[in-house]
């Protein structure tokens, strides 16, 4: 990936997660995880999130469903917060998690709904 592609990937990452989150991740980067941070920027944000096939709102909703299904609560909370940047609404989140309950199971959706409620409440304050 050349510098222009990396910058495009980083711009996408910032547009979804916000400058504050990305700045903190960059500031906390060490020799131990710098390769991982580069990897996720290139692959997640450059190769996937920057593709034209889906909107950021659609990608956001898919990501929430997958993270809920897999039980990745801290990443789920981060992507729920990112909805303010992607256009996914609280109603979208509710519908995605209801859909997740049918296809990934009620326990996964129940945990995700708890995370979503807590995260959305914090965002409103």
Its pTM stands at 0.93
Inter-residue contact 97 to 91 (CB < 8 Å): no
pLDDT at 2: 87
Average pLDDT over residues 3-29: 96
Domain residue extents for the chain: 1-51, 54-125
**HEC letters along 49-114:** CCCCCCCHHHHHHHHHHHHHHHCCHHHHHHHHHHHHHHCCCHHHHHHHHHHHHHHHCHHHHHHHHH
- The sign of the dihedral angle between the CA atoms of 41, 46, 51, 56 is positive
123's CB contacts (< 8 A; 6+ apart) are 80, 81, 84
> What percent of the chain has a predicted confidence (pLDDT) above 90?
98
Provide the mean pLDDT of the chain.
97
Instruction: Give the pLDDT band (50/70/90) at residue 81.
Output: very high
pLDDT in tens, 37-48: 999 999 999 999
Asked if the model's pLDDT at residue 1 lies above 80, the reply is: no
The topology (CATH level 3) of 54-125 is AhpD-like (1.20.1290)
Average pLDDT over residues 84-100: 98
Average pLDDT over residues 107-123: 97
- The span from the CA of 121 to the CA of 61, in Å, is 19
């Amino acid at each position: 990936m050349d510098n222009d592609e990396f910058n495009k990937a980083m711009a996408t990452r910032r547009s979804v997660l916000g400058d504050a989150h990305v700045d903190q991740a960059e500031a906390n980067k060490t020799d131990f995880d710098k390769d991982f941070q580069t990897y996720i920027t290139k692959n997640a944000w450059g190769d996937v999130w920057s593709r034209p096939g889906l909107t950021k709102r659609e990608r956001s909703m898919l990501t929430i469903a997958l993270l809920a299904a897999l039980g990745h609560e801290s990443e789920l909370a981060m992507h729920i917060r990112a909805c303010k940047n992607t256009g996914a609404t609280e109603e979208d989140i509710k519908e995605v998690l209801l859909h997740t309950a049918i296809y990934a199971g009620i326990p996964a959706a129940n945990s995700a709904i708890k995370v979503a409620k807590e995260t959305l409440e914090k965002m409103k304050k």
